[in-house]
Amino acid sequence: MRGLMFGIRFIKTRPIDYVLLFRSGKIRKQGAGLNFFYYAPSSTLVIVPADTRDALFIFKENTLDFQELDIQGQVTYRVLDPQKLASLLDFTVDVKGKYLGDGIEKLDLRMTNLIQVAIREKFRSLNLADALTAASSLAEPVLERLRQNPALKELGIEVLDFAILKISPTPEIARALEAASRENLLKNADDAVYQRRNFAVEQERKIKENELQTQIAVEEKNRTIRETQMNAEIAVQEKQKLVEEAKMDSVQVVERKKAEIETQKLASLVDQEKRKKDLVEYQTQNLLQFSKARGQATREELAAFKELSPEIVEILALGSMDSSKIISRAVRDLAKNAEKIGNLNLSPELMSLLINKEKGK
């Protein structure tokens, strides 16, 4: 603002300021970021902030279990219709641009009241513990309710964002909660120690169970191996038994074959002996018959010789004898009458003949 003589003033505003110049109850100028001269004694300036504004709020609220909490937060909004808002709230400024009206304070107060009403409806269903942690869950529903609030729409206000920065209990409740929390922490610490010990015991039990299961598995494996070995030995014994039985069968077959062969041999020998016996019998019979025939012939010959003289018989005998025998007989007869013989000459040829015939015998 710049002051001039005779009440003439100059105003220069920011682009985010919406300015309205009233004179005689009527709007003479309006717009954002205007710069102009005006006559101060008969004019009224209204500046509505058209920028995005952050309004802080803090209030107390009770929970379902009648515990008082301090709620702090921030709401972000902007003015969509400055002229309408200027007609409902006082944003008058002096010649230096300072607010004379309470429009800003009332707007923030109305915003806080609407927020408190919205949060109160939610807090009626929450106990202390839930309310202390409900900041993030309450923000979205409250923001949506503020955007749909007809009073804010009537003022030409658009709510852009809403956040609950802190929900805190009273000092007495805080100390009680701290004590309870401390007890819970100690309890949790004790539980953690117990859980660690229990976990260690459980792990030890699992280790022992695993060792036992391993031993059982090893014993089961050994038993399976032993059973397999026993089955293999039984199979080998069965195989050996079959082989022995096969050998015995083979031996029995061989023995039976040998017995059959021996039987056949005996039968053959018996048959051969029978044949020999028959042959001997036949030969004996033949010899007997031959002897009988020869005896008969001899008897008949002797009967014939009986009728002959001894000299004729001797001559016949000599006729059938060998020459060497005849010579030998002659020499023997000569020897009987040796006293009557003076000299006897035997030729070498005759001696050789007699000797050779003797050797040939």
pLDDT tens, position by position, for the chain (361 residues)? 444 457 788 888 888 888 988 988 888 888 888 888 888 888 888 888 888 888 899 988 888 888 888 889 999 999 988 888 888 888 888 888 888 888 889 988 999 999 989 888 888 888 888 888 888 888 899 999 989 989 888 888 899 999 999 888 888 887 877 777 777 888 888 888 888 888 888 888 889 888 888 889 888 888 889 888 888 888 888 888 888 877 777 777 777 778 778 777 777 777 777 777 777 777 777 777 777 777 777 777 667 666 666 656 666 565 555 666 666 666 666 666 666 666 666 667 666 766 666 555 5
Residue limits of CATH 3.30.479.30 in the chain: 2-169
Q: Which of 25, 38, 157, 162 is nearest to 89 (CA)?
A: 157
Instruction: Quote the CA–CA distance of 344 and 223 in Å, as a whole number.
Output: 122
Which pLDDT score is estimated for 2?
Answer: 44
Instruction: Quote the CA–CA distance of 131 and 306 in Å, as a whole number.
Output: 181
Which pLDDT score is estimated for 350?
Answer: 65
Q: Which of 90, 120, 108 is nearest to 157 (CA)?
A: 108
Instruction: Quote the CA–CA distance of 184 and 191 in Å, as a whole number.
Output: 10
The rounded Cα 263 to chain-centroid distance in angstroms is 71
- Cα–Cα separations (whole angstroms), residue 231 to 113, 220, 226, 254: 94, 16, 8, 33
CATH of 2-169, one of 3.30.479.30, 2.130.10.10, 3.30.565.10, 3.40.980.10: 3.30.479.30
Give pTM, 2 decimals: 0.47
